[in-house]
Chains A and B, each alone.
Chain A
């Protein structure tokens, strides 16, 4: 056999070996992909099955809540009148009066009046209904009385140098319990704790002591 034939056989063998190696590796990878997709399809099927009844249930909940909101909103208007109702809502949640009330389409155009009457807590509760829940997407932005997710950040803006900025400079919490070390001056009289001695008071006390002696 000529040398050229041997070289050709070697080349063909190498090509076949490369084909086998890479194609087998590709088959293994594709099998992994198929297995993964089977799992994903099963999970997606579960998602579809679990979320199927959600729409009907949520619609039913919303329907009931709509009826309640309609009734309570109507009660608020009946109690205080439309103008004062908008004034109360705008007073509690600045800017919310412009959105108006659901069952009174023109109520958003009312200029919120200044309230000249003292209303009961029940009326204010009616005015707050549906406007304090943190999940209420329609809640007006801006300053609010109480906001579940915003309250702490507002306080931090007011007092930026408190514990959240320099916790290492604050004194440690007192150790309490039966085994706690005595760290504080004992009270001389029940209910009366001696005032901490300042350097100035200590100097004055020393002078008095010297004068008496």
Chain B
């Protein structure tokens, strides 16, 4: 009977607090990750929005090509233009 009592008291005053302590630690760790994940999600979404302007590079590409072709069309005339500028 004494052993029965000892087992019961150990379960109540030792096992129960230890279980609560460990589970609470797991819960706190999981809840601590949530804000980090939220920030990562927000940052990734913002990064994706920043890249919305990437298609404008196609315009830049076309204009650069056009400008270079225009300069090339001047050919030897550019030599004279630089002198007269």
Q: Which residues of A contact B (CB under 8 A)?
A: 2, 4-5, 7-8, 10-12, 14-15, 18-19, 22-23, 25-26, 29-30, 32-33, 36-37, 39-40, 43-44, 46-47, 50-51, 53-54, 57-58, 60-61, 64-65, 67-68, 71-72, 75, 78-79, 120-123, 125-126
Indicate which residue in A29, A44, A65 contacts B30 across the interface (CB closer than 8 Å).
Answer: A29
Given A4-B4, A29-B30, also A39-B54 (CB < 8 A):
no
Query: Is the Cβ of B27 less than 8 Å from the Cβ of A43?
Result: no
When distances are taken between beta carbons in the complex, the residues of chain A under 8 Å from B27 are: 22, 25-26, 29
- Given the known interface contacts A11-B11, A68-B71, A79-B79, the answer about A47 and B48 at a Cβ–Cβ threshold of 8 Å is yes
Once the chains bind, are A61 and B38 in contact (CB under 8 Å)?
no
How far apart are the CA atoms of A65 and B61 in the complex, in Å?
10
* Identity of the chain B residue whose Cβ is nearest the Cβ of A25 in the assembled complex: B27
Query: What are 24 A-B pairs at a CB distance below 8 A?
Result: A5-B8, A7-B9, A8-B8, A8-B12, A11-B15, A11-B16, A14-B12, A25-B31, A29-B27, A39-B44, A39-B45, A44-B44, A46-B51, A47-B44, A47-B48, A50-B48, A54-B57, A57-B57, A64-B61, A65-B64, A75-B79, A122-B82, A122-B85, A125-B85
Report whether B45 and A22 are in contact in the complex, using a CB–CB cutoff of 8 Å.
Answer: no
Contact partner of A78 (CB less than 8 A), chosen from B23, B24, B41, B79, is: B79
In the assembled complex, the Cα of A16 lies from the Cα of B41 at a distance in Å of 36
Q: Which residues of A contact B68 (CB under 8 A)?
A: 64-65, 67-68
| Bound complex: CA A122 to CA B64 (Å) | 21
Closest A-B pairs by Cβ, 3 of them: A122-B85, A43-B44, A22-B23
Counted as pairs of residues, one from A and one from B, with CB atoms less than 8 Å apart, the total is 145
The chain B residues found within 8 Å of chain A, CB to CB, are 1, 4-5, 7-9, 11-12, 15-16, 19-20, 23-24, 26-27, 30-31, 33-34, 37-38, 40-41, 44-45, 47-48, 51-52, 54, 57-58, 60-61, 64-65, 67-68, 71-72, 78-79, 81-85
The answer to whether A29 and B41 have CB atoms under 8 Å apart is no
Question: Which residues of the other chain, A, contact B51 by a CB distance below 8 angstroms?
Answer: 46-47, 50-51
